[in-house]
Amino acid sequence: MPREKFKTLTEQMFYILLCLKTECYGMDILDKVPLMTEGRVHIGSGTLYNLLEQFLGEGFIRETKVEGRRRSYIITKAGADFLEKEYLRISSQARDYENMMRKDREE
């Protein structure tokens, strides 16, 4: 069965939307994500621009400027709400892990 589109976010998707809290060009995102994650997450330019198009189609981001081939984007309310939902999902996973691991350490 195919994965439902945008049911959960990959790390790359999460960080792209997070970067777009402020207006950015695609190249800005390629620079920001490795800095934000201390080099743990990298996004290829093909992946980035494919995801930006998908996010535009879903209404999660919008274009703010077009200067030749350079386009800038910002997250929409729908995108921010979706990012928040994903953050809460990840946070609950971390809590579950902590609860189970703490329980194991106490036994």
State the residue range of the domain holding 33.
11-106
93 belongs to a structural domain: yes
Is residue 60 a part of any domain in this protein? yes
Q: φ and ψ at 7, to 5 degrees?
A: -70, -45
11, 19, 8: which is closest to 73 by C-alpha?
A: 19
> What pLDDT band is residue 69 in, cutting at 50, 70 and 90?
confident
What's the CATH number where 101 sits? 1.10.10.10
Residue 6 lies in a domain: no
How far is C-alpha 68 from the chain's CA centre?
26
Residue 3 placed within a domain: no
Q: Rounded to whole angstroms, how far apart are CA atoms 48 and 86?
A: 19
Q: How many domains does the chain have?
A: 1
pTM over cut 0.75: yes
In a domain, 4, yes or no: no
- pLDDT bucket at 89, cuts 50 / 70 / 90: very high
